[in-house]
Amino acid sequence: MELSVFNIKGEDTGRKVTLNDAIFGIEPNDHAIYLDVKQYLANQRQGTHKSKERSEVSGSTRKLIRQKGGGGARRGDINSPVLVGGGRVFGPRPRDYEFKLNKKVKSLARKSALAYKVKNNAIVVVEDFVMEAPKTKEFVTIAKNLKVAGEKLLMVLPEKNNFVYLSARNLEKANVITASELNTYGVLNAANMVVTESSVAAIEKLFNA
pLDDT at 209: 65
Clarify whether residues 54 and 144 are in a common domain.
no
Clarify whether residues 125 and 199 are in a common domain.
yes
Clarify whether residues 67 and 117 are in a common domain.
no
Clarify whether residues 129 and 170 are in a common domain.
yes
Average pLDDT over residues 12-36: 94
The answer to the question of residue 38 being in a domain is no
CB 167 within 8 A of CB 97: no
pLDDT at 4: 92
What span, in angstroms and rounded, lies between the C-alpha atoms of 172 and 136?
Answer: 12
Clarify whether residues 67 and 157 are in a common domain.
no
Domains: count for the chain? 2
Clarify whether residues 156 and 56 are in a common domain.
no
Q: pLDDT tens across 174-194, in order? A: 999 999 999 999 999 999 999
Average pLDDT over residues 113-139: 94
The answer to the question of residue 40 being in a domain is no
From 76, 96, 116, the end of a domain falls on 96
Average pLDDT over residues 109-121: 95
Sequence-distant (≥ 6) Cβ neighbours of residue 28 within 8 angstroms: 112, 113, 115, 116, 119
From 96, 131, 154, the end of a domain falls on 96
Clarify whether residues 112 and 193 are in a common domain.
yes
pLDDT at 42: 96
pLDDT at 74: 83
Domain of residue 55 covers: 46-96
Clarify whether residues 91 and 160 are in a common domain.
no
Clarify whether residues 13 and 90 are in a common domain.
no
Identify residue 138 by its one-letter amino acid code: E
pLDDT at 70: 86
* C-alpha dist (Å) from residue 5 to 106, 116, 134, 200: 29, 20, 24, 11
Reply yes or no on whether the pLDDT at 120 is more than 80: yes
* Of residues 156 and 75, more confidently modeled: 156
DSSP helix/strand/coil, 67: coil
The answer to the question of residue 37 being in a domain is no
Average pLDDT over residues 111-120: 95
Checking DSSP bridges between strand 12-18 and strand 2-6, what pairing results, if any?
antiparallel
Residue 65: which pLDDT band, with cuts at 50, 70 and 90?
A: confident
Q: What rounded mean pLDDT belongs to the chain?
A: 93
Cα torsion 113, 119, 120, 122: sign: positive
Residue 165 sits in a domain of what CATH number?
A: 3.40.1370.10
pLDDT at 1: 81
